[in-house]
Structure 1
Amino acid sequence: MTLTPAVRVAGRIAEIGREAWDACADNPDYSGNPFIRFDFLNALEVSESAVERTGWGPRHLVVDDAAGRVAAVMPLYIKSHSQGEYIFDHAWADAYERAGGRYYPKLLSAAPFVPATGPRLLVRSDVDLDEARRLLLSGGLAFCERMGASGLNLNFVTEDEWRWLGGEGLGLREGQQYHWENRGYADFEAFLADLSSGRRKTIRRERRDAQADVEVLTLTGADITEDHWDAFFQFYMDTGARKWGRPYLTRAFFSELGANMSDRVLLVMARRSGRWIAGALNLIGGDCLYGRHWGCVEDVPFLHFELCYYQAIEWAIDHGLARVEAGAQGQHKIARGYLPRPVYSAHWIADPRLREPVMRFLEQERAAVDQEMEWLEEAFSPFRQG
């Protein structure tokens, strides 16, 4: 399949279109990742959640084949800040600006506000992978130079992309999250049986206390209504206001998600005396359940663990999913069966005065992250030994 060497830029994903974008996003190698699909990224744009006004200016890259069809795409944004990324580069920005440089704007390839691994160089399955990737990367670097951006950053890439990008000269960064992995469990009790006796008792007690006076429902597809989204948005706003001051997503985003991706949504809701009091939003991938947002309007002991972790594990087991990714941060997840796993990003810094110290830092950081993950699993794993 011959590809045209020119890489074009789309200011909105709608300019590319659902059929053309998803022809690349639906590559079987991408495991049905929901965050790279047209409907998810378009929902962020049409809802005014990820647009220029919020510091996320869409500039998606497109490679065409000789017949004029879209052969590969890269979700790309001009960023005027580093919020909503979950790969923290504030120290780099501060150091560069103290030295007289200008860190913003920068270019970011990511699913906005999503700390979940997924492909960033999306290539149609019948197209040469390396050729398409090189065109996308060279287009990204050329656009970076043209825009006068400080660099090109690709966050939460797959391990395969990460290693490939390293071979192309980008700096490689490693972080960690906590993921639950399905070891072929028949049901939640089988998962508990894999834990130490102390952890089994604790989890059973937490689930009993959380559900003592609360009804928990798992909703997906047509069962999710606008009333559910109204309640969940209230939870989301409460959590956002307490954690980072200004929530990223608008109310319209959740309606767009429900209208176009309800079959990929798992909404876990809790109510007491007929009133919704808490909820957790998950997205369903081909082999993974991705936990995204949580919130509540009443404090109930252990309800957060029940809705975000235990219900997710139970649903994943019942539906044969390989793992649950519960989002960023949180060592408390280890005690609930979520073990440390690496996540990856790759970075090109345009100015060599910043690039060289960042590359040295990344090398040292990778070694420290690997060491910490090994120690955490050995010291705190809740699973039975031997």
Structure 2
Amino acid sequence: MTTQNKSPVLSQRAKTVSEATSSSLMWDIMNNPWHPSINPDGYVNVGVAENALMHEELLQFLNKELEMSAKYLTYNDGGGGSVKLRQAMCKFLNHHLHPLTPLEPDHIVVTNGVSTAIEHVSWAFADPGEGILLGRPYYGMFMQDISLRPGAKVVPVSFDDVDPFSLAAVDKYEKAILDFQQSTGKRVRGLMLCHPHNPLGRCYPRETIIKLMQLCQKYQVNLISDEIYALSVWENTVDQDPPPVKFESALSIDLRGIIDPGLVHVLWGMSKDFGANGIRIGAIISQFNESFHLAMKGISLYSYTSGISDHLISLLLEDFAYTDSYIKENQRRLAESYAYSVGVLKSQGIQYAPGCNAAFFLWVDLGKKYRELHPGVSEMTEVGEKVMQNLLQRKVFLATGALFGGEKDGWFRIVFSQPRDYLAEALGRIFAAVNDE
């Protein structure tokens, strides 16, 4: 078979993705992982949001439970997840997220991962060219999930020197709505909230969420709260400024007098809280929007989860004794890994965004340190790209702030949810890269 880069058989959108993919290093990096003895020349990857701290414990549970009936070799109960899985999710999330209105199976659409869930809500709420708000900095793949196939337009929200978690930040969202509508003549249809936040590792205060809901009500915008890190909240013992905020799900808020309940939707999945990206289980929770659920039934064939994943996760979520213990230990390890990473960064004089208590990220200013070590660099020069080149030469991968909509040059996201020896190797390579010319 002959392959041509300019193949006329591809649609324009496929050509665009093909060209972008050809220049992406991501899969090359993921297919060449570092190992101290087997592959010492591979990449140390602290750029992908994976939690490897509890893999052995989860495997011990899953490997002993893999016994299925023939039902899981069929289409089972449909593309939105088996009744058994949705019932298990309801009980589990009612236990942990404390929704004001208890969840029922019909409130949940199961998808093959939260990326698919994001794409589904973008497709359902926004026509091509219409907007979905996204505060900066943001999880980099939100851009593709929201816009690549659904055709919605991401509307980045800049905060300047305003704390993005504060009440004052809501005014920035409103400005973005008005600017977008004025410049395009199209409406904003959604506000995507990453709560807890990726990459800043903080939770939104309840009062900020309520004010955002009121804004959404004013402009009839869907509030989509991506709570994929909801149970990865831990105690920060090393820095308290800004003071860490307790996580409270959007589901736990009394919506009366605030927002039409049909405009509120929550996303959750197994990838982060259970360190199981490969399981491919996500969920869209919408308690008061029947039309949305009918639309999801129509496209659920395209996001079917594996029968094996459906079965195993049903059993896992039903076992409260195991999951309570797992979550508690995971939170302890995340806190410990954060404290270790912060200590090493401080020893090297590298600035980071403090006050984290959720997820597994450090938002770090490697550009500032690079300038300090290389005083000949002009203040007008953007150094983020140069630091990224150095990092790749040192065979360490982390996410650049430029891809996350960072408002200032030189910031990067480090994923600290890795075993200690792996993390130490990564940090050592990062410091060496910053020292390189």
* Band of TM-score, shorter chain: under 0.3
Q: TM-score, normalised by structure 1?
A: 0.27
- TM-score, normalized by length of structure 2? 0.24
Higher strand share: 1
